[in-house]
Chain A
Amino acid sequence: MKSRITPYLQSAPAMLWLGLFFIVPLVAIVSISLMTGNPIDGYTLTWNFSIFPDVLDQYSPQLGRSFLYGGISTLLALVAMYPVAYWIAFHGGRRKSLFLFLLLLPFLVSFIIRILTWQFILSDEGILLGTLKSIGILGDDAHILSTPTAVITGLTYDALPWMALPIYVALEKIDRDLVEAAGDLYASGYQQFRRVILPLSAPGVYAGILLVGITNVGDYLSAQILGGPSTTMIGNIIQTQYVQNGDYPVASALSMMLMLALLVCVFVYARVFGTRTIQEYS
């Protein structure tokens, strides 16, 4: 008897956690998305499944754009931060912690302030464009703010530490003897990196991509502050529908669609690169 109950008791905290913070909100969102009504008369559950094709039809440009911006910014952050994490892990020496701290330092400033700073940097007559215009590299009416470039810049910038940290941890954990052994077996520097270090850091890259990708696809502040007339992301729509229009079913349905689409992406990604690498190498 005891042996039958014990595992349940042992897993109770985890189950409770999952139930409270995952299942309950999820069921709430699903059921709200299937309701119809309005803020004045209230919403009732009518199992309105047609809301999903409806919102998909209406908001597919914004949904697609979110994945595009999210994907590009994630890749850019990866390309930018892998070398940094590599350098700190392998060449940081005794000052590793200092370098990590410096990397994180700008991120102690509030998120909003950091985005607004980009508004300042990228403004038409600002320090970047103003300079390029005065030396004639850019035309007078060139602008970056209010374009997709500005939104992706904001998304990428904000992702940097979240990409760097997991990669750094993975690189840091690599047994240096393995690298040395590769060298002893006449692997060139490139081969050591390609055949030993890169595969061993894969779990970190995987974690970084998930962490950044999921956050960035759902982001709305970057588009709101740095974007223009045609850079609206799905997060902006969800926010407007929920806060401005009180249209909870549409907001919930969009959140569901976003979650499902992300799940599909994560699943495909895990199938192609992810779990195999993690199981093999970690």
Chain B
Amino acid sequence: MTQPRFSRRQVVKGAAGALAGLGLAQFIAACGLPGTKDTGWEAGFDWSDWWKRQRRHDELNIASWPLYIDTENGKHPSLQKFAKQTGIDVKYSPVIQDNAAFFSQISPVLQNGQSIGYDVIVMSNGWQLTQLMQNRWLIPLDHSRLPNFKKYAGTVATDLGYDPHLTYCAVWQAGATAIAYDERQVDGPVDSLEILFDPKYKGKVGMLSDPDELGTVGLLALGIEPETSTYADWKKSAALLTKQRDQGIVRQYYDNGYIKALQDGDLAVTQAYSGDIFQANHSGYPHLKFVIPREGGVLWRDNSVIPYHAANPVDALEWINFYYDPEIQAIIEDWVNYISPVPAAKPIIANQLEDPVVADSPLIFPSEEELARLKEYPMTETLETHEKWVGLFDPIIQS
């Protein structure tokens, strides 16, 4: 080299110049990340007038969860019927695996006032759905276009603590969270949550890693009504669950992986979702039992909602109305095996589809008494209460 090399100082100077060029200085000065507040539709917007002006576009994009619709040879008969009857071209994407993760994907888009590309999304009741409603990121349903919902929706779909006037939510499926046990390892019958805290099953007890599920089961075990519980109650629940963990009773805090651990014999007893156990029972694991204990269980719902800026809202309503038709619901339910929002599908599954195992299962069509024993999660309507809740239960799950 005939010319002097870079000195360290020159490099630093050059780098500083480049930084200034990239506008980082401004970035730091004006720094901030915008919030979600006031990024939805304006309060007082006249939706009934808006709905009057909407027309069908014969297109529909649905985002849902994997294995959550009837499937035959890779096709979905219920959707095919829908397409044939209405002429709507449906695109079905099973892209949602976790409410929080999906929310964190769509949230920046909605925050920018753009369409997320789906006309219907399926969200569980919980903090993310509450956020979608509170941010006014959802389009209120036009119930005048949902005659089947009006006629056939059961209490599972009409009695919603988180959306009491059914403004946004049309239940897709519901389910119960309670306990499941392995008959080979546990002397049944089991009828109480006490078994989850029994040192006899040390290292063989599975709990759910969802803070809503975990915290609520603690409340139920203490005999506290979740819906009306207070922060003081939550602390008691957290103390109980911390003790359970510290005694070495909990093997792991699971997401959907608990079902595999239960099937493998790694767990003797676990918190569980009704549909998973029903399906396991009929795929080679008849020794797994699902019970709603005397302290009660949780009834959750996955809801079809229409995101703000959706391109095809009328087509979305057509679909919701379509799946509330008992004939269609029967096809879906006979495959999905969670709790159906349409009780009238039961005789159709029994008689026309000739599947009494599904029709007679209390896990799929629970009686009114059984439904009465299922509660909702505690209400966390503000960010402050939500943060208090996760602040108590996150440290237990991730210690």
Flag whether A157 is at the interface (Cβ < 8 A). no
Chain A residues 27-81 with CB under 8 Å of chain B are 27-28, 31-32, 35, 37-45, 61-62
Q: Give the residue name and chain of the B residue nearest to A232 (CB).
A: B398
Taking a contact as CB atoms under 8 Å apart, the answer to whether B32 and A27 are in contact is no
With a cutoff of 8 Å between Cβ atoms, the chain B residues found around residue A264 in the complex are none
Residues of B within 8 A of A (CB-CB), count:
42
Known: A42-B32, A45-B32. A243 touches B101 (CB 8 A): yes
Taking a contact as CB atoms under 8 Å apart, the answer to whether B100 and A244 are in contact is yes
Taking a contact as CB atoms under 8 Å apart, the answer to whether A40 and B36 are in contact is yes
Flag whether B24 is at the interface (Cβ < 8 A). yes
Taking a contact as CB atoms under 8 Å apart, the answer to whether B260 and A119 are in contact is yes
Q: Mark A1-32, 1 if CB is under 8 A from B, else 0.
A: 00100111001000110110001100110011
Taking a contact as CB atoms under 8 Å apart, the answer to whether B264 and A15 are in contact is no
Flag whether B44 is at the interface (Cβ < 8 A). no
Taking a contact as CB atoms under 8 Å apart, the answer to whether A229 and B399 are in contact is yes
With a cutoff of 8 Å between Cβ atoms, the chain A residues found around residue B203 in the complex are 141, 143, 146
**Smallest CB separation, A257 vs chain B (Å):** 16
Compute how far the CA of A232 lies from the CA of B394 in the bound complex, rounded to whole angstroms.
Answer: 11
Flag whether B87 is at the interface (Cβ < 8 A). no
Known: A123-B266, A124-B266, A246-B104. A42 touches B35 (CB 8 A): yes
Taking a contact as CB atoms under 8 Å apart, the answer to whether A225 and B257 are in contact is yes
Known: A38-B35, A42-B33. A15 touches B383 (CB 8 A): no
Q: Give the residue name and chain of the A residue nearest to B209 (CB).
A: A224
Q: Give the residue name and chain of the A residue nearest to B24 (CB).
A: A27
**Smallest CB separation, A120 vs chain B (Å):** 8
Flag whether A117 is at the interface (Cβ < 8 A). no
With a cutoff of 8 Å between Cβ atoms, the chain A residues found around residue B387 in the complex are 38, 245
Chain A interface size band reads: 35 or more
Flag whether A213 is at the interface (Cβ < 8 A). no
Give the segment of B56-64, B246-254, B332-340 that binds chain A: B246-254
Flag whether B28 is at the interface (Cβ < 8 A). yes
Q: Mark B34-45, 1 if CB is under 8 A from A, else 0.
A: 111100000000
Q: Give the residue name and chain of the B residue nearest to A224 (CB).
A: B255
Chain A residues 207-238 with CB under 8 Å of chain B are 225, 227-230, 232, 236-237
Known: A19-B18, A41-B37, A244-B100. A31 touches B264 (CB 8 A): no
Compute how far the CA of A8 lies from the CA of B7 in the bound complex, rounded to whole angstroms.
Answer: 12
Compute how far the CA of A24 lies from the CA of B24 in the bound complex, rounded to whole angstroms.
Answer: 7
**Smallest CB separation, A144 vs chain B (Å):** 10
Flag whether A86 is at the interface (Cβ < 8 A). no
Compute how far the CA of A145 lies from the CA of B14 in the bound complex, rounded to whole angstroms.
Answer: 52
With a cutoff of 8 Å between Cβ atoms, the chain B residues found around residue A242 in the complex are 104
Taking a contact as CB atoms under 8 Å apart, the answer to whether B27 and A27 are in contact is yes
Chain B residues 172-193 with CB under 8 Å of chain A are none
Flag whether A183 is at the interface (Cβ < 8 A). no
- Among A145, A230, A244, the residue within 8 A (CB) of B399 is A230
Taking a contact as CB atoms under 8 Å apart, the answer to whether A6 and B3 are in contact is yes
Flag whether B50 is at the interface (Cβ < 8 A). no
Taking a contact as CB atoms under 8 Å apart, the answer to whether B27 and A15 are in contact is no
Compute how far the CA of A59 lies from the CA of B245 in the bound complex, rounded to whole angstroms.
Answer: 18
Q: Mark A255-268, 1 if CB is under 8 A from B, else 0.
A: 00000000000000
Compute how far the CA of A125 lies from the CA of B18 in the bound complex, rounded to whole angstroms.
Answer: 60
Chain B residues 285-317 with CB under 8 Å of chain A are none
Compute how far the CA of A277 lies from the CA of B33 in the bound complex, rounded to whole angstroms.
Answer: 46
Flag whether A248 is at the interface (Cβ < 8 A). yes
With a cutoff of 8 Å between Cβ atoms, the chain A residues found around residue B6 in the complex are 7, 11
Flag whether A188 is at the interface (Cβ < 8 A). no
Flag whether B15 is at the interface (Cβ < 8 A). yes
Compute how far the CA of A145 lies from the CA of B261 in the bound complex, rounded to whole angstroms.
Answer: 10
Q: Give the residue name and chain of the A residue nearest to B102 (CB).
A: A243
With a cutoff of 8 Å between Cβ atoms, the chain B residues found around residue A243 in the complex are 100-101, 104
Taking a contact as CB atoms under 8 Å apart, the answer to whether A245 and B390 are in contact is yes
Compute how far the CA of A24 lies from the CA of B250 in the bound complex, rounded to whole angstroms.
Answer: 43
- Among A6, A23, A146, the residue within 8 A (CB) of B251 is A146
Taking a contact as CB atoms under 8 Å apart, the answer to whether B394 and A240 are in contact is yes
If A11-B14, A40-B135 are given as contacts, then 9 extra A-B residue pairs at C-beta distance below 8 Å, sorted by A number, are A15-B15, A19-B18, A23-B19, A27-B19, A41-B37, A143-B251, A146-B252, A229-B252, A248-B33
Task: List 21 interface pairs A-B (beta carbons < 8 Å), by A numbering.
Answer: A15-B18, A27-B24, A31-B28, A40-B35, A40-B383, A42-B33, A45-B32, A123-B265, A123-B266, A124-B264, A124-B266, A125-B266, A126-B264, A145-B251, A146-B266, A229-B252, A229-B253, A232-B399, A236-B398, A245-B390, A248-B33
